[in-house]
């Protein structure tokens, strides 16, 4: 049985937070490719299928029918067979046999949460939770900054005792997550335990941005932006946050992409467009027909101040697109450690039965025409965190050698030279 103690969830998603090494999504597109919901039809190709493809699909259909007939004839618990689960299992196996860790089938009961995970926008109160077997309760991992939960005073470590008058234990994690979700503008009543105190709260559900860009003014008129992922509206958020920093006196910026596993590619390219000169190459992609497309910056730069980007081994995918576009065009210097090296793009196809297929569709290249897939981006200057630092999440500003190096570089009068 899965160890629930170590499962961390978004209450508004009902899906496990994956480790950064999975880097699930790099682009988000929805298409409807299939016209019905039977098991075999999932394997059918689109209207442009060849006669060879049709023949292969027919063979698959015959084989699956034989398997189903055999199961119905010999399986001891045949009356308990769930055809929907069999279909999902068959499709998952078919797709996983490609051997591509980034291509996967998503059953329809997981599709809504999966799509929400991509966009980064949900309706809820905005907390991450963990099912804690030791305490026997569902515990708040931390509230999302600026969320209704944070505004209501919920803190990391709070134990959730009840939701709308019903008491739950850690084994009821999914129920708690379900009941905390709801329509925008409605309220949910929580009783939480904090040390020896029980606290009753009534919190209004709102649309939540789970990965907001955080900013801070540093010394020497340096503005700092931490981009945790590239979700829906990240580019707009970036623009607003830079303008806010400028109003506070920022004349130089640090963009922190550490542990940013990617997200929606267009959000990353839109940010690059704000920083590059018109006509500069941001990215080029090649599909399975060897068709090449180049994305250029469309406008004059909205922001021209000096830029340093911080990366680490968990900076991947869309964050690598932004980093390499600025580095190759000599717009910014990269400080930190080599990036993850995920130079391929996935597209999420929405199937007619409500399920989905996330499939690798393109490989991308840097403005200088190099591939970074399974290679990564080498920083202009490699700077590691001290061995005593366990995680970038817990590092103090004083311990953060990568941040301190970025500040040092931006303090140099000849900062333009380091981009070359």
- What is the reported pLDDT for 181? 85
Mean pLDDT across the stretch 142-166? Answer: 91
Strand partners, 360: 346
pLDDT at 92 over 70: yes
Residue ranges of the domains in the chain? 214-345+355-413
In degrees to the nearest 10, what's the CA dihedral of 182, 187, 191, 197? 130
Give yes or no for a contact between 344 and 364, defined as CB atoms under 8 angstroms apart.
Answer: yes
Give yes or no for a contact between 118 and 18, defined as CB atoms under 8 angstroms apart.
Answer: no
Confidence of residue 41 (pLDDT cuts 50, 70, 90): very low
* 277 or 16: which leads in pLDDT: 277
Strand partners, 207: 123
Highest mean pLDDT among 11-20, 43-52, 124-133, 200-209: 200-209
CA–CA separation, 191 vs 246, rounded Å? 42
CA–CA separation, 103 vs 346, rounded Å? 7
Mean pLDDT across the stretch 137-145? Answer: 86
pLDDT in tens, 66-86: 988 999 999 999 999 998 888
pLDDT at 332 over 80: yes
Specify the pTM. Answer: 0.73
pLDDT at 259 over 70: yes
Question: Is the four-CA dihedral 93, 97, 98, 101 of positive or negative sign?
Answer: positive
Confidence of residue 60 (pLDDT cuts 50, 70, 90): confident
pLDDT in tens, 360-392: 999 999 999 999 999 999 999 999 999 998 778
Question: Is the four-CA dihedral 42, 118, 320, 272 of positive or negative sign?
Answer: positive
Q: Is 353 left (phi over 0), alpha (psi -120 to 50) or beta?
A: alpha
Tokens of 331: 């717009």
Lowest mean pLDDT among 148-157, 166-175, 208-217: 208-217
Give yes or no for a contact between 279 and 250, defined as CB atoms under 8 angstroms apart.
Answer: no
* 131 or 7: which leads in pLDDT: 131
For the domain spanning 214-345+355-413, the CATH number is: 3.90.226.10
Mean pLDDT in the chain? 84
In degrees to the nearest 10, what's the CA dihedral of 220, 383, 257, 318? 140
The DSSP call for residue 163 is E
Confidence of residue 35 (pLDDT cuts 50, 70, 90): very low
pLDDT at 276 over 80: yes
Is residue 347 classed exposed, middle or buried when 0-12, 13-18 and 19+ CB atoms within 10 A define those classes? middle
CA angle 364, 367, 373 (to 5 degrees): 35
The two beta strands, 281-287 and 292-296, are: antiparallel
Mean pLDDT across the stretch 182-194? Answer: 94
pLDDT at 116 over 80: no
pLDDT at 48 over 60: no
Identify the CA nearest to 159 among candidates 142, 139, 143, 132.
Answer: 139
* 259 or 116: which leads in pLDDT: 259
């Amino acid at each position: 049985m899965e160890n629930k103690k170590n499962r961390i969830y978004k209450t508004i998603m009902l899906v496990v937070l994956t480790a950064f090494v999975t880097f699930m999504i790099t682009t988000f597109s929805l298409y409807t490719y299939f016209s019905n919901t039977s098991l075999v039809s999932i394997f059918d190709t689109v209207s442009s299928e060849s006669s060879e493809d049709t023949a292969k699909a027919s063979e698959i259909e015959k084989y699956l029918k034989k398997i189903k007939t055999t199961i119905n004839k010999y399986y001891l618990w045949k009356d308990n067979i769930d055809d929907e689960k069999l279909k999902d299992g068959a499709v998952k196996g078919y797709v996983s046999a490609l051997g591509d860790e980034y291509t996967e089938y998503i059953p329809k009961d997981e599709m809504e949460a999966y799509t929400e995970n991509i966009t980064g926008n949900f309706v809820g109160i905005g907390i991450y939770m963990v099912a804690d077997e030791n305490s026997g309760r569902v515990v708040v991992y931390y509230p999302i900054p600026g969320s209704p939960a944070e505004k209501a005073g919920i803190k990391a470590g709070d134990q959730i005792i009840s939701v709308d008058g019903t008491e739950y234990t850690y084994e009821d994690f999914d129920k708690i997550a379900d009941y905390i979700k709801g329509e925008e503008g409605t309220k949910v009543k929580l009783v939480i335990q904090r040390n020896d105190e029980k606290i009753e709260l009534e919190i209004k559900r709102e649309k939540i941005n789970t990965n907001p860009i955080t900013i801070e003014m540093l010394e020497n008129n340096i503005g700092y932006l931490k981009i945790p992922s590239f979700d829906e509206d990240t580019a707009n958020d970036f623009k607003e946050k830079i303008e806010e920093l400028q109003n506070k006196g920022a004349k130089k910026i640090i963009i922190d992409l550490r542990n940013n596993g990617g997200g929606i590619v267009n959000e990353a390219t839109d940010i690059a467009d704000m920083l590059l000169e018109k006509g500069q190459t941001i990215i080029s992609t090649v599909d399975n027909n060897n068709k090449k497309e180049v994305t250029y910056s469309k406008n004059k730069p909205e922001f021209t101040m000096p830029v340093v980007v911080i990366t680490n081994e968990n900076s991947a995918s869309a964050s690598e697109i932004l980093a390499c576009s600025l580095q190759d065009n000599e717009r910014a210097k990269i400080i930190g450690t080599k990036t993850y090296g995920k130079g391929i793009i996935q597209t999420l196809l929405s199937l007619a039965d409500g399920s989905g297929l996330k499939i690798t569709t393109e490989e991308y290249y840097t403005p200088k025409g190099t591939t970074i897939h399974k290679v990564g981006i080498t920083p202009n200057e490699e700077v590691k965190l001290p061995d005593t630092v366990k995680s970038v999440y817990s590092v103090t500003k004083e311990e953060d050698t990568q941040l301190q190096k970025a500040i040092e570089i931006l303090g140099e009068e000849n900062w333009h030279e380091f981009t070359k």
